[in-house]
Structure 1
Amino acid sequence: MKGIAVFQTFTSQADPTQGAARLASLRARLGAEGLAGFLVPRSDAHQGEYVAARDERLSWLTGFTGSAGFAIVLPGVAGVFIDGRYRVQVRGQVDLAVFTPVPWPEVKPGPWIRDTLAEGVVGFDPWLHTAEEIAGLEAALAGSAVSLRACANMVDAIWADQPGPPLGRAFAHPLALAGESSLAKRARLAEGLRAAGQKAAVLTLPDSICWLLNIRGADVPRNPVLHAFAVLDDAGDVALFVDGPKIDAALRAHLDAGVRLCAPEAFVPGLRALPGPVRVDRGSAPLAVSQELQAAGVEVVWGDDPCRLPKACKTAAELDGMRAAHLRDGAAMVQFLCWLDTEAPKGGLSEIDVVSALEGFRRATNALHDLSFDTICGAGPNGAIIHYRVTEETNRPLRQGELLLVDSGAQYADGTTDITRTMALGDAGAEAAACYTRVLQGMIALSRARFPKGIAGRDIDALARAPLWLAGLDYDHGTGHGVGAFLSVHEGPQRISRLSEVPLAPGMILSNEPGYYREGAFGIRLENLIVVQEAEALGDKRAQFSFETLTFVPFDRRLIVSAMLSPGERDWLDAYHATVWDKIAPRVEGAARDWLAAACAPLG
């Protein structure tokens, strides 16, 4: 079963051949506007990781298609700022004769501009940057001859065939899956606004709006969200600024009388008419929002998006849905891995074949709404490209003696999945197995963790890295991101990384995905989803949390060096595999069940 991919396509989205001409056109436009530079973010007005075709400005200009990054175009240099996930990818996607990759966040944009540009005005679109971001840049440029200016979008001005805004149809998310009505959510959040003396909060994050109203959308790939803005007032009513074609009669009936539909062009006048104080999230709302409020004399109070933390702490119904989705997805993954072990030794498979087959097994569940992101399937050296996306041009055959990294996920109506497994294609060698085992040890350490209430992701990130550190190894990405419930596969504010200061709380779902990447050779990543839960009281009965594992798919025992594992690690792994068997075996049959029995046997 090779399957035919329906959701994922394999055409190249990067076009470095157009970069030089488009950059020249942009610089000409900047000169005409009296600007020395321009900021080109990846994000849209909703600060989304996944953006609609209309908002693919960074990709259109540079050719870089990663989900994070930005460009700064100056007269003599155009820097493309990318983090550790994209250091390899960017070099293959942009014209290096005209674009310069810049390692970020090691190199900060403000000091880079200051060091690169002697004087002049750098323009930016205030709808695409947050107040926090611009304030940081202004602080870094203070005392220099360089200043920032809010202006119309200069990329849009030269993008002749720019697509129109998305008009995906929104739909209701059932109360049985949400676990709390929109009315109850709004009442709870409105109480918080009243307690803080605030009249309203502006909502700009699509997943916040969808969560609050118990709706979903279809405006961006992979994430079931709609593009809209909203204002929640202190009585619990919401003004939703959304394109009319997105809301049909069925959804209008789902929304109660406390939700007022408004046209998108009414958003700015609506802001200007609000009574203050109005809460605005400095780190996620476009700068233009606070500028419009302040221009009208409305008091702005900086504060967190009131939906983000409640949304992160899943209801019992959402957790039940996520558990069901992961069991369904686990069975599809086991069928896929059985297929892979049967077909790969025969030869003739490529990365595209693998991606198509995996999507086929998920579609066979008859419950697949979409993928949760484009499947990352890297054979051999492609596995070292952390967010690699296979195209017809890069498609690599599977070869014996190499590793295959597959990071994938699905959107089901009851939950969102995200799982990574790395498999051996034949004998991958002792070095690869040792590295794999260290990555596995890091995952086990995090899975077994117990920690006091108040601990943040940054406090436990090192647990997953310690086995790699002992060998002088590491990885250049966070250990875990938050995950939504039939929402964004990357959800804040919770995460496990050196930068995360948000305390972990029961109901938060995160990924647990340490890795190791050797450029030009192989990549290894292992990922389960985990949920924060209250731990059994021990010792002096302090409140502690632990993790429940949601993902149930075996690890490749051919790459596990048993002698490297401690007794505790071995016990955890054997218990995990026993649970995988108990939960997944009733859902598969025939060859897949036989394969699962062998994969879940104790290490011995």
Structure 2
Amino acid sequence: MFQSFDATSDPAQGPGRLAALRDVMAAAGVDGFLVPRADRYQGEYVAACDERLAWLTGFTGSAGFAAVLADVAGVFIDGRYRVQVRDQVANVFTPVHWPQTSLAHWLIKQLSQGGVVAYDPWLHTVDEVAALTKDVAAAGISLRAVQNMVDQIWSDRPARPSAPFFAQPLELTGEAHADKRARLTKDVSDGAFVITLPDSIAWLLNIRGADIARNPVPQAFAILAADGHVDLFAPAAKVADLGDHLGPDVTVRDDFDAAIAALSGPVRIDPKSCPQAVRDLITAEVTEAQDPCILPKARKTEVEIAGSRAAHLRDGAAMVRFLAWLDAEAPKGQLTEIAVTQALEGFRRETNALRDISFETICGAGAHGAIVHYRVTRGTDAPVKSGELLLVDSGGQYVDGTTDITRTVIIGTPSGEHCDRYTRVLQGMIAISRAQFPRGLAGQHLDALARYPLWTAGLDFDHGTGHGVGSYLSVHEGPQGISHRNTTPLEPGMILSNEPGYYREGAYGIRIENLIVTVQAPEGPDKRDMLAFETLTHVPLDRRLIDTGLLSRTERDWIDAYHAATVRLIAPLVEGAARDWLLAACAPLEAATPFP
């Protein structure tokens, strides 16, 4: 259930596996094959049996893909993974910075006129295939749908997940699935909508699953009809524990391909998430629209928001116990990244409410903190040393909410550079926390607020400022987010992370993350319709790293108010040494007494 520290891939196997894949490509008469980190459900995380990218290349990041040609194999990664990929892949693979270099541009440069690139149509969306087909056509390159070629050489591929689905009760969702289905029928006035995202199906039917580690989603497909009826496509054994939860208007089936082919039009699909293979099965008229569950799922009900608040208090108390333990133990010089990770998971388990961690804990000491999505293994386990920063990004899955928090702490005495960079990151986090903005603005309009304190020093970070978060669902949830690319208008009830950072390769990383929920802002003198954020996470910041000389009076007041609220909410939940640590850690910035 909890984190494993064994390496999930073996880079040494890369050359042999790449050679075997090229043999299959040659036999099929194609010049290339695409290997995304994706499964047929197009979720961000995949089951062990679908970890084709990691199995082939050794790269275990949560985003990326490979393009394998006869004489070159590119592994495409974004800014989060540029350090990690160099450590993980064998030298037969070439890291490619993406999106600076697009797949189409790279293929055109590498392939001659008339090249044929194969792909598995279950692992690529309709939009992806259409865009790539268009972009390479002028160079005479074509795409060909094939059976997955990695599967043909992966002899010990793990079995598919078989965990049963279970119900998420009304007291935790705030809306019965019958009401959700009825509400969505306005988007399906005739015909049917094919829903392929597991978290959409989980939300729509108020069910959860255990098919993907850390993400309680059920792997299934669904067809929503205009009358609100749903056909749910999953093995009967996986729904056996649901009892009468689904009711008479949800039919469980296991003949998805045939059912899709038999649909009469219009059939709606979301081209951003629907696999090309599903589109190819449809014989009726097809129209494209956004998955009807996406926005309603993002707008949390009052019940879900209340659950998230409760989950964050429970999780916050566990984090305080952990940080108090860390401050007591780290100076002894015996801790390693694995010991820290195990201790943190132990404090969360002691809540007796934890269902799982919400993602693999990122615990980076010193230089490992600069690897944005670093995951410690027994081969990389580093000591926690005095004078170094320790970055810990973690979260929990509770039945009433999903948490995600990052705290960066100093072990021993910080340097002036540590404090300068930490304070600038903190200023960015505060700016987002305090933001008030007109309804209709998107995350792209707010992203610069988090970066401005770093920009003034010629610094920046290469990831988004925030992602959406589900309600006992995926820790990364769209469509909302805070980044220069996100165009989805923010709405009340949307939960997001607020996590600016700074990373100095080979030295340290800094990230500070709270979860926030979008709320209606208090009415101002002009009576404009404005939104704001409520902070859900209450865990102390490391005052030892704050350079108060860089802060404005308003920023100081925000930090003191945040710490006062943290004491008010968390102190009743902890006792003894942890409570003493909390009170000291949350003392006003100008207080003379340092905390332990």
Q: TM-score, length-normalised on structure 1?
A: 0.97
In the alignment, structure 1 segments of 5+ residues that lack a partner are 1-5
1:329 Cα deviation from its structure 2 partner: 0.2
Give the count of matched residue pairs. Answer: 589
Alignment map for 1:452-531 (pairs within 5 Å): 452-531=438-517
1:510 Cα deviation from its structure 2 partner: 0.2
Match for 1:282: what amino acid?
P
Aligned to 1:227: 219
The more displaced of 113-122 and 380-389 is: 113-122
Aligned to 1:178: 173
Question: In the aligned structure 1, how far is the partner of 2:47 from the partner of 2:20?
Answer: 23
| Equivalent position to 1:431, from 417, 438, 441 | 417
Aligned to 1:160: 155
| Equivalent position to 2:246, from 252, 255, 262 | 255
Aligned to 1:206: 198
Question: In the aligned structure 1, how far is the partner of 2:72 from the partner of 2:23?
Answer: 14
Q: SS where residue 244 of structure 2 aligns?
A: helix
Q: SS where residue 2 of structure 2 aligns?
A: coil
Question: In the aligned structure 1, how far is the partner of 2:116 from the partner of 2:181?
Answer: 43
Aligned to 1:355: 341
2:569 maps to 1:583: yes
Aligned to 1:104: 98
Aligned to 1:443: 429
Q: SS where residue 473 of structure 1 aligns?
A: coil
Q: SS where residue 288 of structure 1 aligns?
A: helix
1:528 Cα deviation from its structure 2 partner: 0.2
Match for 1:238: what amino acid?
V
Q: SS where residue 377 of structure 1 aligns?
A: strand
The CA deviation string for residues 248-305 of structure 1, in whole angstroms up to 9 with x for no partner, is 2x40311111110001xx1111011112111100101101111111xx2x11111000
| Equivalent position to 2:231, from 229, 239, 243 | 239
Question: In the aligned structure 2, how far is the partner of 1:401 from the partner of 1:348?
Answer: 14
Question: In the aligned structure 1, how far is the partner of 2:64 from the partner of 2:239?
Answer: 32
Match for 1:125: what amino acid?
D
Q: SS where residue 323 of structure 2 aligns?
A: helix
Match for 1:105: what amino acid?
P
Q: SS where residue 141 of structure 2 aligns?
A: strand
Question: In the aligned structure 2, how far is the partner of 1:243 from the partner of 1:472?
Answer: 55
1:539 Cα deviation from its structure 2 partner: 2.9
* Runs of 4+, deviation exceeding 4 Å: none
The more displaced of 98-107 and 45-54 is: 45-54
Question: In the aligned structure 2, how far is the partner of 1:91 from the partner of 1:144?
Answer: 31
Q: Is the 8 A contact 1:446 1:463 kept in 2?
A: yes
Aligned to 1:3: none
Q: SS where residue 142 of structure 2 aligns?
A: strand
Question: In the aligned structure 2, how far is the partner of 1:549 from the partner of 1:448?
Answer: 9
| Equivalent position to 2:270, from 281, 286, 291 | 281
The CA deviation string for residues 350-403 of structure 1, in whole angstroms up to 9 with x for no partner, is 000000000000000000000000100000000000000000000000100000
1:163 Cα deviation from its structure 2 partner: 1.5
Q: SS where residue 210 of structure 1 aligns?
A: helix
| Equivalent position to 1:128, from 120, 123, 144 | 123
2:72 maps to 1:77: yes
Alignment map for 1:135-150 (pairs within 5 Å): 135-150=130-145
1:168 Cα deviation from its structure 2 partner: 1.0
Q: Is the 8 A contact 1:383 1:517 kept in 2?
A: yes
1:597 Cα deviation from its structure 2 partner: 0.4
Aligned to 1:93: 88
Aligned to 1:560: 546
Alignment map for 1:394-433 (pairs within 5 Å): 394-433=380-419
| Equivalent position to 1:380, from 344, 366, 375 | 366
Aligned to 2:594: none
Question: In the aligned structure 2, how far is the partner of 1:601 from the partner of 1:348?
Answer: 29
Q: SS where residue 492 of structure 1 aligns?
A: strand
The CA deviation string for residues 152-193 of structure 1, in whole angstroms up to 9 with x for no partner, is 111111111112211111101010000000000000001221
Question: In the aligned structure 2, how far is the partner of 1:172 from the partner of 1:133?
Answer: 33
Match for 1:259: what amino acid?
V
Q: SS where residue 471 of structure 1 aligns?
A: coil
Match for 1:36: what amino acid?
D
Q: Is the 8 A contact 1:376 1:406 kept in 2?
A: yes
2:55 maps to 1:66: no
Question: In the aligned structure 2, how far is the partner of 1:226 from the partner of 1:43?
Answer: 16
Match for 1:239: what amino acid?
D
1:140 Cα deviation from its structure 2 partner: 1.2
Q: SS where residue 228 of structure 2 aligns?
A: coil
2:111 maps to 1:117: yes
Q: Is the 8 A contact 1:193 1:200 kept in 2?
A: yes
Aligned to 1:571: 557
User: CA-atom RMSD, angstroms?
Assistant: 0.7
2:258 maps to 1:269: yes
The more displaced of 535-544 and 355-364 is: 535-544
Question: In the aligned structure 1, how far is the partner of 2:285 from the partner of 2:256?
Answer: 17
The CA deviation string for residues 36-59 of structure 1, in whole angstroms up to 9 with x for no partner, is 000000011111111011100000
Question: In the aligned structure 2, how far is the partner of 1:539 from the partner of 1:302?
Answer: 43
Match for 1:359: what amino acid?
E
Q: SS where residue 557 of structure 2 aligns?
A: helix
Question: In the aligned structure 2, how far is the partner of 1:278 from the partner of 1:498?
Answer: 33
Q: Is the 8 A contact 1:170 1:251 kept in 2?
A: yes
Question: In the aligned structure 1, how far is the partner of 2:471 from the partner of 2:361?
Answer: 19
Q: Is the 8 A contact 1:110 1:136 kept in 2?
A: no
Question: In the aligned structure 1, how far is the partner of 2:446 from the partner of 2:570?
Answer: 30
Q: Is the 8 A contact 1:222 1:371 kept in 2?
A: yes
Match for 2:260: what amino acid?
L
2:275 maps to 1:290: no
Question: In the aligned structure 2, how far is the partner of 1:380 from the partner of 1:212?
Answer: 43
Question: In the aligned structure 2, how far is the partner of 1:68 from the partner of 1:21?
Answer: 23
Aligned to 2:11: 16
1:145 Cα deviation from its structure 2 partner: 2.4
Match for 2:247: what amino acid?
D
Question: In the aligned structure 2, how far is the partner of 1:590 from the partner of 1:373?
Answer: 30
In the alignment, structure 2 segments of 5+ residues that lack a partner are 591-596
Work out the percentage of aligned pairs sharing the same amino acid: 62
The CA deviation string for residues 13-51 of structure 1, in whole angstroms up to 9 with x for no partner, is 121100000000000100000110000000111111110
Match for 1:280: what amino acid?
I
